[in-house]
């Protein structure tokens, strides 16, 4: 079922589809987080990712409660958006050698995920209320609050130290690379006769 397929006719259909979307997304995030924990070198960032992995497992359980309240089987629907965000994060992380710059990239990737989740949960909470399902909205709101708190925590870690360290580290490394290239060029030029 695509976002605007003919299978989505009612608001309930749209709600159900979006619920399946975030359920799939949370499961993909749960699979991706251990890799982010492993790649993070900053202890605070590593702890934050570990904590969010535990929270993500809780988000999945809450979503399963939502499905149960709706008398539906928990089921995800493939979400190209979250797959793309996770793929992009893996690609960027694979291209970064410097540990501090990698930490900054991991935070940016994690915040892209958080922002996606925040939009989905915000929409689902509003729709659940519109559909008269305050019980479901309450569960979704709990996930939304945790996602917002995680995003705020990531911003704090980035502003407090990671971005500054990445900037300093990256500049120092680049200066060394330029100096080495200039030395190598000068060494080569010594043996070349001028015309």
Could you report the per-residue pLDDT of 36-89, keeping only the tens digit for each?
999 999 999 999 999 999 999 999 999 999 999 999 999 999 999 999 999 998
Q: Could you give the CA distance from residue 102 to residue 96 in angstroms, rounded to a whole number?
A: 6
pLDDT score for 1: 45
Quote the percentage of the chain above a pLDDT of 70: 83
Half-sphere exposure of 191 (CA within 13 A, CB side): 4
Summarize the confidence of residues 154-176 as an average pLDDT: 78
CB 80 within 8 A of CB 164: no
Quote the percentage of the chain above a pLDDT of 90: 71
pLDDT score for 195: 55
Q: Could you give the CA distance from residue 56 to residue 143 in angstroms, rounded to a whole number?
A: 9
Give 163's contacts (C-beta < 8 A, 6+ positions apart): 104
pLDDT digits (tens, 9 = 90+) for 133-143: 999 999 999 99
Q: Could you give the CA distance from residue 134 to residue 115 in angstroms, rounded to a whole number?
A: 23
Where along the chain do its domains lie? 11-190
Res. 95: pLDDT tops 50 = yes
CATH class (in words) of the domain with range 11-190: mainly alpha
CB 34 within 8 A of CB 53: yes
Summarize the confidence of residues 163-180 as an average pLDDT: 64
């Amino acid at each position: 079922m695509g976002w605007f397929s003919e299978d989505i006719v009612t608001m309930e259909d749209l709600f159900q589809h979006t619920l399946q979307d975030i359920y799939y997304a949370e499961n993909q995030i749960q699979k991706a987080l251990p890799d982010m924990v492993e790649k993070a070198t900053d202890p605070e960032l590593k702890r934050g990712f570990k904590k969010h992995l535990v929270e993500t497992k809780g988000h999945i359980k809450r979503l399963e409660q939502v499905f149960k309240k709706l008398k539906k089987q928990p089921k995800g629907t493939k979400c190209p958006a979250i797959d793309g965000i996770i793929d992009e994060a893996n690609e960027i992380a694979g291209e970064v050698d410097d540990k501090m710059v990698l930490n900054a990239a991991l935070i940016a990737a994690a915040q892209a995920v958080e922002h996606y989740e925040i939009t989905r949960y915000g929409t689902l909470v509003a729709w659940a209320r519109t559909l008269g399902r305050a019980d479901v909205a309450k569960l979704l709101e709990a996930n939304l609050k945790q996602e917002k708190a995680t995003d705020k925590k990531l911003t704090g870690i980035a502003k407090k130290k990671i971005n500054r360290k990445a900037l300093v580290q990256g500049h120092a490394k680049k200066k060394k690379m330029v100096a080495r290239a200039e030395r190598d060029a000068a060494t080569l030029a010594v043996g070349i006769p001028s015309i």
